Chains A and B, each alone.
Chain A
Amino acid sequence: MYFINRTWKRLWKPFLAVTAAITLLTAATSERASAAGLLVADGGFGGVLKIQQQDVRVTINNAIAVTQVDQVFVNTENRQVEALYLFPVPREASVSNFSMWVNGKEMIGEVVEKERARQIYNSYKQQRRDPGLLEQVDFKQFEMRIFPIAAGAEQRIRIEYYQQLDVDHDWGTYVYPLATNVQGKPIDSQVTGRFSMTVDVKSEVPIKELKSESHPDDFVVVSHQSNYAQASMELTEGDLSRDIVMAFQTHRARTGLDLITSRPKGEDGYFMLTLTPGADLSSTSEPMDYVFLLDISGSMSRDDKLTISRRSASAFIDSLGPDDRFECLAFNMTPIPLFQSMKPASTENLQLATEFLQSQRARGGTVLQPAVSAAYAYRDNDRPLNVVLLSDGMTETGEQSELLQLIQARPAGVRVFCIGVGNEVNRPLLEQMADQAGGLAAFVSTEDSFRRQAQLMRQKLVRPAIENVRVAFDGGRVTDVEPVEMGDLFYGTPLRLFGRYGNGGAISVSLTGTVQGGPWKQTVELDLPNNDEGNSEIERMWAFMRVKQLLADERALSANHRDEIVRLCEAYSIVSPYASMLVLENNDEYQRWKIEQRNAVRIERDRASRASVQEKLAEMRRQASDNFEVSRERMSEQSGGPNRAPNNPITAPSRPSPQTTTSNPAPSRGVDLDVGLPGGGAIDPVTAIIALGTAGGAAFAGRRKKKSA
């Protein structure tokens, strides 16, 4: 102990003066394990710090969410400790920053080429100046180590990440993942002080509702305008054991395109184009078959995943139509069928299915192949077969390639839909399976509404899609469009396209695809601005998508895009297998290592952009509260007060008040499309009754005339 104290006394000043290194690694597991192991072995102090305060600020701009988490840890032990903090990776998230406060000053992380980052990190480690390590543990979670923190000391950190949100049938879902296990044990999840969360949602498409699925009684929700809503929560000694799930509904009556842009001065611009299916995409009355594959392997016992699966499957079967048929297969090493044939979705069969699902216990390994092959055997020629896989995707690595081959070799008329269950889920595998099988992947969190998720998924199954959507641009010097292949447009799930442009002004966007076997094409005009600094989020998202595409190209074609990936990662602060995040203690250290502080510059700009948006939003709030009586009434209705029914969603006013419509954060740049979908002549009851009356009158008059003649 004496030695430790002496070492600490000798090193803390040089440490604070020289280094704070945090490395974000997304490379091979062995390398991450090595770095983490060395830290523990070298320090050997251990200990989990208590979270004293946690403030989460979420800005959702047209389904791009920027999450900023400020956390204050406190060392309650009477000795210096090494802190360990873990948090699950949000879906499709790209961590853009990790900051630590050293001597009251925020030190921002910079992304550098991976080998160089490791070299720099190791140089500090050898000098026993190794205060923190943030790493991504495979695809599931980030792990952060901070060392040393003195007895009784506080340590403030900030994490920022970007993600595209899943949108289903006009519902966008944001999950702040909290419920997770580490090595089979739940993370200690209690804030000793304040836990606050603010969610700002703005959208080009009008927002109909914003609500919390998980914490309806804790959030106050206010709809300031039709395209801006806000939710906030503040708790003392808040519980962090449950995911926080926010859902917002936007509504587009007709299928259309919405454009948002960002163009810093003196640079090429960025754009995000969203193709949103509207209510004009029609349903088919075609009955379908469903096989539900329920994973009951050992990994499903953790995190209540099997319970989520059971409830999701039950909700899904409950949502089937009277002409649909279904079968359930539980599987671990081998498939266990419920009926061994397709049965109609009757109440009796639903009851049998519920009992079957309830009787399953999670045990054994996961072998998906026999289960998927068995599901294919249920294919009937007179109707399509949908295989719905409910799993965490934790299958053997060796099996994955065979499984993907099996998916590709599926019989005609079979689609595979994957529902990832829980936070600890092999998202890449499930997404790849669904993509290759003409289906979709969805992910269900503990706190989600299973019924709603089931209904949304089913709507996607029965609704026709625009297949092979392609977009071409004329004008604007548009380049680097991601993704290159847009794929199919499913009802309820928008497609997003990111790209860059050189020239502002009008451009022509041509969309093509296949609708019900026939070709579809439409061309629309859009305006690209010469200056727009309100949506800087899309810059990083564009780069993130580009990096993803380059990595996918490398996997598929064995091409080498390393230099380009590193360039993008360093420029836009994206952690990848080729680039890591490093935080040094002060600017001199960055200069010493010749690391250009691009992230610091970008973050400053991002924050300025967000501050500008926040100012506009604040102005909107002020204008909305001009009519104090109305606002107060609405607030009391929306804050979950005594008069409000539980889970009663808050709806935005259907028509914004005249004084509030003048200050939208950005003008709407959306266009409706005519989708080549079924049209029909429809006789409405009023016209029919009038027509029948006149026809009856004609017949009666004719008869009377005949009689009189």
Chain B
Amino acid sequence: MISVLRNYPSTLVVTTLALLVWAVPSLGSLLETNFALIGEGQWWRIWTGHLVHFDGGHLFWDLMMFVALGSVCERQHPRLFPIAWFVLATGVTLGLAMFCDGIGSYRGLSGIDTGLFVWLASERVFRSCIDRERVTAFAWLLALIGLTGKLVFETVTGQTLFVDSSGFTPLVEAHLAGVMFGFICSLIVFASARDEEISLDERFVRCGK
């Protein structure tokens, strides 16, 4: 337990908070991302809305994915992970505010989940390219393309695949914002990697070979 606390503190905090908010339903309306109320000064909702969920099914899938991806990302970048979480949370909320006019409020970790997945997969693609592991790079790239393709399909058709959400409107825009900011995170992390001595240009040159 202590090792879990030591290795995954941010993942644990976010998971605990999400479960706590779920256990006390009255917190939901205080913490959800409500754009009108953010405009009135309740700025904490920019981040806390991601910890609130509509129902058990919504919480289960969002949190399960967060725990899995968050623990992998945090294990690899323990210092950057909490910063990346805030960047992703802010980016997803910003994306929704810009592209979802008709939506009054937002709940859920899935935008951040998508961002974490893109961060992880993009970084793997970069690293595999550097290490000349083309099959691995291709496999991660395929996963990224699959996710992006699904999101593009959902955006174009206006239908969500595999989601049963009678209680709320599923927002593809949250996932698209997650993709964008997850990719930005991976670029920043990749660019600032200290354990690599070669320049960024050289990395791409090697990756292209």
Contact = CB atoms under 8 A, between A and B. Distances in A.
A235 interface: no
Nearest to A699: B72
A686 B147 CA distance: 11
Contact of B72 (A280, A516, A522, A698): A698
Given A285-B25, A522-B102, A674-B101, A683 B113 contact: yes
The bracket for how many chain B residues form the interface is 35 or more
Given A682-B170, A683-B62, A684-B163, A691 B104 contact: no
A698 B120 contact: yes
B103 A674 contact: yes
A233 interface: no
Contacts of B75: 699
Main SS of chain A's interface residues? mixed
A695 B120 contact: yes
B139 to A, nearest CB: 8
A285 B55 CA distance: 8
A692 B67 CA distance: 10
Nearest to A694: B143
A434 to B, nearest CB: 26
Interface in A267-303: 279-280, 282-283, 285-286
A619 to B, nearest CB: 33
A300 B35 CA distance: 50
Contacts of A516: 34, 104-105
A691 B112 CA distance: 13
Interface string A676-709: 1111111111111011101110110110000000
A681 B110 contact: yes
B190 interface: no
Contact of B166 (A283, A515, A673): A283
Interface in A503-546: 515-520, 522
Contacts, number: 152
B64 A680 contact: no
Given A285-B25, A285-B54, A698-B72, A679 B61 contact: no
A687 B146 CA distance: 10
Contact of A682 (B136, B140, B163): B163
A137 B64 CA distance: 65
Residue among A279, A687, A690 with max Cβ neighbours from chain B (10 Å): A687
Interface string A658-681: 000000000000000111111111
Given A518-B104, A678-B54, A680-B53, A686 B161 contact: yes
A677 B110 CA distance: 18
B206 interface: no
Nearest to B117: A691
Nearest to A520: B104
Contacts of B111: 681
Interface of B: 25-26, 32, 34-37, 53-55, 58, 61-62, 64-65, 68-69, 72, 75-76, 92, 96, 100-111, 113-114, 117, 120-121, 124, 136, 140, 143, 146-147, 150, 160-163, 165-171, 174-175, 178
The 6 tightest CB contacts between A and B, nearest first, are A674-B102, A681-B110, A518-B36, A684-B162, A676-B104, A681-B174
